[in-house]
Amino acid sequence: MRNDTVITPQAILRQDYVAPGYWVDTVEMGFDLGLKSTLVANRMVMRRNHASTEKDLVLSGESLKLVQLRLNGVKLKKADYQIDGETLRIPNAPDEVTLEITTQIQPSKNTSLSGLYASKGNLITQCEAEGFRKITWFPDRPDVMAKYTVMLRADKKKFPVLLSNGNLIDEGDLDDGRHFAKWEDPFKKPSYLFALVAGTLVCQEEKFKLKSGRKALLQVWVEEGNLDKTQHAMDSLKKSIRWDEERFGLELDLDRFMIVATGDFNMGAMENKGLNIFNTKYVLANSSIATDIDYAGIESVVGHEYFHNWTGNRVTCRDWFQLSLKEGLTVFRDQEFSADLVGTTTGRAVKRIEDVRVLRQVQFSEDAGPMAHPVRPDSFVEINNFYTVTIYEKGAEVVRMYYTLLGHDDFRKGMDLYVERHDGQAVECDDFRAAMADSSGRDLTQFERWYSQAGTPRVSVVTAYDAEAQTYDIKLTQSCPTTPGQEKKLPFHIPVAMGLLDADGKDIPLYCDDYPAQAGATNLVIELTAASQTFRFNKVTSEPVPSLLRNFSAPVVLDIDYTDEELGLLLANDSDPFNRWEAGQRLATRRLVKLTKALQAGEELSIDDWFINALRNTLNDESLDPAFRELMLTLPSEAMIAEAFDVVDPQAIHTARQFVRATITRHLKADLLHVYETHQTPGKYRPDAVSMAKRSLKNLALSYLLEWADESTFDLGYVQFKEAANMTDRLAALAALTNFNGTEKQKKKSEKALRRFFKDFKKEDLVIDKWFMLQATAHTTDVEKVRELMQHPAFTLTNPNRARSLVFNFCNANPSQFHAPDGSGYALWAELVIALNKINPQVAARLARSLDRWKKYPVGLQAQMKAALQKVSATKKLSKDVAEVVSKALA
Ligand code: ARG
Ligand code: ZN
């Protein structure tokens, strides 16, 4: 692929940044709200930015009907301004301008769920990234920060609740059954943080005392009938507020903080100032509808959005190329929040492993595909396509590397300096790096490459032991593959946390020439900055086993040739729990790759007893946290195994993995049963770390037990399904039953269980999403079955959660079926991308990415994927969103 020839439609370039021609000081808005039609009056006080090269007054707008436009009290005539597509330009405007704009919009026709839209009779906004321009003409860019006052008027019966950012300063009744609420946000903010919610909602509320003694009103707003599902979100919010006070010294700056849940939402949630809007998936929970994973997800997303109040809102982004400035940092903060709440060393490691799994499986794959982009991209066509795992998760890894390099205290100093310097400003990633460098005195010049260069670096390791001199040399060599538009890469600044194990698996004291100050430490962060570098360790009395990249200290691939015995030593002994897990994954991957190749060659499959025994020891090691054992016993996913191949054979990978799972069960049945029985959590459901860990290990055991057809184990699953006292256990059992490869009678029973589940939960949208998800990812669900499920009355493409539950899960998480040799999966994909394109471009573009890696498949599949991509690409009225994704895939 020649990358410099990639041409994408109307790309916006980072280097073209021009400061806004006008600043906006205040915005006063008046809304006359209605589902079919809403009238928006907007009065902006603006002033020329003399430092800008832009002389015109420039506004953005989309799908707006312009009713009136007045400048300094005078109605503008057609000749006074120009509208060109989404730009309204007023030349020769004076330095001081009061602009009054009235627009009319149609929320119920807005299926894009961006801007102001209708959801079950309520009105909701989503303005990030560029949704505010669908509400009024505005300099809709994050570096324009203004103070907002918002007057909401609506029918009191249909819209009894009227919310916006900041503080409620007035409310009352109007004529004709209408009422109003007036809101004032005391902080200046970019337009993407604007929000309003109007409709029939109820709330759980509480006064919460802040560190300074001030009290804040906390509210969680949901649809009627859902007040039995808000406690966990409220608890999570309170924990978030406390945590940010304690860990970063950052206090809530408002008297009122609201969370609103909606079932129609494109993403997870949104940090609008004082009025966070959430997907119901990240708010609603009780033991009968939510799993342990849902509880954890809610806690981290509530934290994430709350933490944005400082990292994102008080200090925001200059332009959208800097998105990771707020997202990478805020993901790092929410990861630390979750880890701190668990508290224990293994608890932290479990969280770290879960995060790294996502990074490797999704972000490494993105970094190796046609949409690869730096953490701070240089160009985009549609910014919504850049809310990616690279911006979020790799961005968080970049922030974590500062933490690793600087240490806890200096990192905190850097954060303090960053907030102090830039409060109330819209800044760049470089400003964050500068704050970290200035507060610690460290040279972080080279570190900049983590922002500018895309691709996952590889670090290869060669070691040499000299018994006579008692020296041990570790030679690290880094490289980074070509990515679109970036042919050559320069070396990264890579922190490699490491230790050396002796033959008993004990850490030995480290005496590295380059780090004299840390002599004798057993854990060292060595810094790889050159293309190749050798680190010498002295006083090494016998050849050690290196434990490198502990706690996954950098987002790189580590190429190192370990023997099985060395991995066994690390697996059983490494003082770094992440690397214990890593050793197990390496052992498993090695076997899974070999078995996949054996299948392709038509050879007999077998697994060595040594590996099975290593798993047995881990499974039965009562000294290990059950959550950690669950991770150790979970095989790399099919997507992860695929990364080890140049050409991916999804069916062979699936068969190989299933073979290993069945073999494990065959050998460890008694052990698994024992674990299953001894990790029950009777009594009231509690989403605490200890009970969650037990359930996760117990349910992993169950899924293994049902891997190997047997009458008694089937019944185990069936009984758990019927008698489960919480959704975690119920769903785990149903998943195992659905994938059970048993007799006809057992299949009938599994189907009955699925029907029963649907009936019991048909009023709970989030549970019905699980019902679709479970079937979408079942081994036996083929394209035809998905088409059948799409006909189910409960299925709809217009709701993103529902579309994701069936369609996205099938295309992204059921590879052996999606990549059916006849190409039927791709045909379905193309149909659905085209259908979604008309409804919701953002959601369509996400689905469009399922074929990103098409060049990694055998030529036969490639041709069919290419044809499907071309079919989408040739569609009339293709959104920018989808066009960008498919054109990059085809480039
Ligand atoms: N800032 C939000 C968050 O990370 C995500 C908003 C994404 N919105 C979008 N239209 N892409 O919490
Ligand atoms: Zn965020």
pLDDT tens string 861-888 = 999 999 999 999 999 999 999 999 999 9
Distance 251 CA to ligand 1 centre (A): 23
Q: What is the widest separation between alpha-carbon atoms in the chain?
A: 95
Pocket test for ligand 1, best of 133, 270, 337 (most atoms within 8 A of CB): 270
What is the CA(273)–ligand 2 centre distance, in A? 13
Which ligand is nearest to the Cα of residue 845, counting in written order? 1
Cα of 108 to ligand 1 centre, how many Å?
22
- How far is Cα of residue 229 from the mean position of the Cα atoms in its chain? 23
Q: Is residue 4 predicted with pLDDT exceeding 60? A: no
Q: 854 CA distance to ligand 1 centroid (A)?
A: 27
Q: Which residues contact 157 (CB under 8 A, 6 or more apart)?
A: 177
Which residue has tokens 């801007």? 115
Residues contacting ligand 1 via CB (< 6 Å): 128-129, 266-267, 269-271, 304-305, 327, 384, 387
| Residue range 340-365: mean pLDDT, rounded | 97
The C-alpha atoms of residue 654 and residue 840 are separated, in whole angstroms, by: 33
| pLDDT over 80 at 738, yes or no | yes
Atom of ligand 1 nearest to the CA of 114: 10
Atom of ligand 1 nearest to the CA of 312: 1
Q: For residue 387, report the distance from its CA to the centre of ligand 1, in Å.
A: 7
Ligand 1: residue whose CA is nearest its atom 1:
270
Contact partners, residue 74, CB within 8 Å, separation at least 6: none
> Which atom belonging to ligand 1 lies closest to the Cα atom of 304?
12
Which residue minimizes the CA distance to atom 8 of ligand 1? Answer: 128
Confidence of residue 709 (pLDDT cuts 50, 70, 90): confident
Nearest to 321 by CA among 248, 259, 379, 387: 379
CB distance 76 to 41 below 8 Å: no
- pLDDT at residue 367, rounded to an integer: 98
Mean pLDDT of the chain: 97
Task: Estimate the share of the chain in helix, then strand, then coil, as percent rounded to the nearest 5.
Answer: 45, 20, 35
pLDDT of residue 2: 37
- Taking the CA of residue 383 as reference, the ligand 1 atom at the shortest distance is 11
pLDDT for res 1 = 38
pLDDT at 750: 96
pLDDT for position 490: 98
Residue nearest to atom 11 of ligand 1 (CA): 384
Nearest CA to 129 among 312, 310, 300, 306?
312
Token couple for 393:
């998760």
65 forms bridges with which residues in the sheet? 104
Residue owning the nearest CA to atom 3 of ligand 1: 270
* Distance (Å, whole) CA 398 – CA 555: 8
Integer Cα distance of 545 and 534 in angstroms: 16
Q: Band of the pLDDT at 6, cuts 50, 70, 90?
A: very low
Which atom of ligand 1 is the closest one to the Cα of 131? Answer: 10
Lookup: tokens for 325? 């400035």
Distance 127 CA to ligand 1 centre (A): 9
> Minimal CA–CA distance to 13: which of 317, 319, 384, 318?
319
Provide the phi-psi class of 851: left if phi over 0, else alpha when psi is between -120 and 50, else beta.
alpha
Pocket test for ligand 1, best of 113, 124, 128 (most atoms within 8 A of CB): 128
Candidates 384, 263, 371, 376; CA nearest to 326 is: 376
Catalytic residue among 100, 305, 382, 707: 305
Ligand index nearest the alpha carbon of residue 385? 1
Query: Residue 607 pLDDT more than 60?
Result: yes
* Nearest atom in ligand 1 to 305's CA: 12
Residue nearest to atom 12 of ligand 1 (CA): 270
Distance, CA of 441 to CA of 54 (rounded, Å): 38
Q: What is the mean pLDDT of residues 557-564?
A: 98
Residue with the nearest Cα to atom 5 of ligand 1?
Answer: 270
Report which bound ligand comes closest to the CA of 278. Answer: 1
Closest ligand to C-alpha of residue 881 is: 1
- Considering every ligand atom shown, identify the ligand nearest to the alpha carbon of residue 386 and give its number: 1
Nearest residue to 569 (alpha-carbon basis) of 592, 589, 587:
587
Average pLDDT on 49-66 reads 98
Predicted local confidence at residue 712, as pLDDT? 84
pLDDT tens digits, residue range 201-240?
999 999 999 999 999 999 999 999 999 999 999 999 999 9
Q: Quick one: which atom of ligand 1 is closest to the CA of 387?
A: 11
Is residue 305 annotated as part of the catalytic site, yes or no?
A: yes
pLDDT band with cut points at 50, 70 and 90 for residue 9: low
Which SS3 state, helix, strand or coil, does residue 556 take?
coil
The preferred substitution site among 387, 391, 392 for testing ligand 1, maximizing ligand atoms within 8 Å of CB, is: 387
Residue 5 pLDDT more than 90?
no
Q: Does pLDDT of 710 surpass 90?
A: no
pLDDT of the residue at 708: 84
pLDDT for 3 equals 40
> Which pLDDT does position 207 carry in this prediction?
98
pLDDT of residue 387: 98
Task: List Cβ neighbours of 409 (8 Å cut-off, separation of 6 or more).
Answer: none
Expressed in angstroms and rounded, the spacing between residue 270 Cα and the centre of ligand 1 is: 6
Compute, in angstroms, the gap from residue 742 CA to the centroid of ligand 1. 44
Q: Which of 267, 317, 325, 382 to mutate to test the pocket of ligand 1 (most atoms within 8 A of CB)?
A: 267
Quick one: pLDDT band at residue 7, thresholds 50, 70, 90? very low
Sequence-ordered list of residues with C-beta below 8 angstroms from that of 275, at least 6 positions apart, any chain? 163, 164, 165, 195, 196, 197, 258, 260
| Interior angle at CA 600, CA 594 and CA 605, nearest 5 | 55
Q: How many CA atoms lie within 13 A of 598 on its CB side?
A: 16
CA 269 / ligand 2 centre spacing (Å): 8
